[in-house]
Structure 1
Amino acid sequence: MAKDWLELRQHADTGIETIRAHFEGHAYDPHWHDSYLVGITLTGTQQFHCRRERHRSTPGDAFLLEPGEIHDGDAPVEGGFTYLTFYLDDKWLNNTLSGLYESVPSSYALHFSRTIAREPQLVQTIAQTFYALHSDEMRIIQQSTMDALLGQLTRHCQWRRRLPSQVQSAAIAHRARDYLHAHMGDNIGLSDLARETGTDRFTLTRCFKREFHLSPHAWLIQLRLAHARMLLAKGELPADVAAALGFADQSHLGRWFQRAYRLTPAHYRRLCTNLPDQGEK
């Protein structure tokens, strides 16, 4: 039997989640986050697919993923792997970066130039920031380590602008994405998305996959899961979250949630809030 375990904390001031975990064998199915993901591998070998490549992260490696980047995870070597990671909110990160630069270009997106980075100073700074947040150090230490981390991360970032040939396809995909955001709890069909974007279902799906690397229905599931995490972290009950986000029932939410995060919704809620389960599964 796999000896998997997971520790999760939510930072009170920023809402940043810090996770330290160990997995053996299959860790998690393909999924994405709506935040920047920063972490390091502590022991073993962590294997995952991202940006259409297979990556292997070992001790001494930092891994850097952007919002929306699909990734999975497994342990290809006996003994599994242990890692630590935390999530940086997109808006929070861009607002904070404005303190490092005289101006931040509004028409560009922050982009990690590499998924895996083997640089001792970056790895050390990630570890220091993680433990300052995870162990609830003094605020001045937390904020100092986070400032040092942002200074390190900017060396691995670039401001990315779209090529003109991508604009039309991306516009269709982003209009569809915005519609999914606005109607994430509804029973949405491809015909609804095609009508809203002024195209047909096949063109819509092709543009959406090109932009987001997932079909619209798979992306909608991930969107619902991301919002489920947010609502559960605020203390809402799994059954209420399932109903609000368009899952058939609490069990339906639970199956998808555990596949993506290796936690039940109730367990995740308890880790974030320390509230009792109240009989929820």
Structure 2
Amino acid sequence: MSHRSEVVATPLPGVFVTLTDSARSFPRHWHGNFGLGVVDRGAQRSASGRGAVEAFAGQCLTHNPGEVHDGTPIGDTARRWRMFHIEPAAMARLFGVSSSADLEWHAPVMDDQALRSALDRAFDASTAAGSTRQTADSSDSVLLEEALLLAVGRASPLARSPQAVRPDGENLTIVVERLADDLKQAPTLDELAALVGTSRYTLVRQFGRRHGLPPMAWLLQLRLQRARERIAAGWGLADTAQSCGFSDQSHLTRLFTRQFGYTPGSWRRATAGHSVARASAF
């Protein structure tokens, strides 16, 4: 009977990722943390805190701390699923509350394409950030936190803390100005939320609706744009990386190539003798 499962730490304290590909049946058990993930292949039937449920490829899964569940594959195909396992203290931090005691997933299985997309982005961000046993760039860690925050918020609208004040357009402009003010020293989501008097989740969601990306993902785009301009102006790659908030030249090269499809060196050669206009941050 095929079975393969691995667990990796993320740079976020108390947040782990598991990848399981298994034809096994699991007996009744529980976890001490919150789980949120997605079925990539196959299907399974399981007991849950809401009764017996079935989950199929493309659907999302949750479990609460102490919630007894099991799992049996449906059909002859091994099922494959990915999960974020979030310790209670880490969940409380994501929601901006002092305790996770009042937080709860309200559906063990969700058929929600927007949630699936949010989880895919969070898993991609986790892969990019690496683990605590590796050298993880701080910007990658922040992007992971932001992506996970959006996925968690999408998955549990009924578990959210009391409705936070929604920042208006003027306040969101203040956030943009703060992000653009110092590329080398990015503010935290906590600082930005305090700046406009709202929760981190509300800030990330409202900023994304207005500007197309959540705050830290938007900042990364601005950093890459400023790096592109400075390379075209003749700056060296190491100086460009340092001035634009990247940890080193390698970090800049990796993200620049992923974003634009060509290396910083190729861009420098292509723009030799040409001017590139500075793009507005707003």
TM-score, normalised with respect to structure 2: 0.49
Q: Which of the two has higher C-alpha Rg?
A: 2
TM-score, normalised with respect to structure 1: 0.49
**Structure 1 or 2: more strand by fraction:** 1
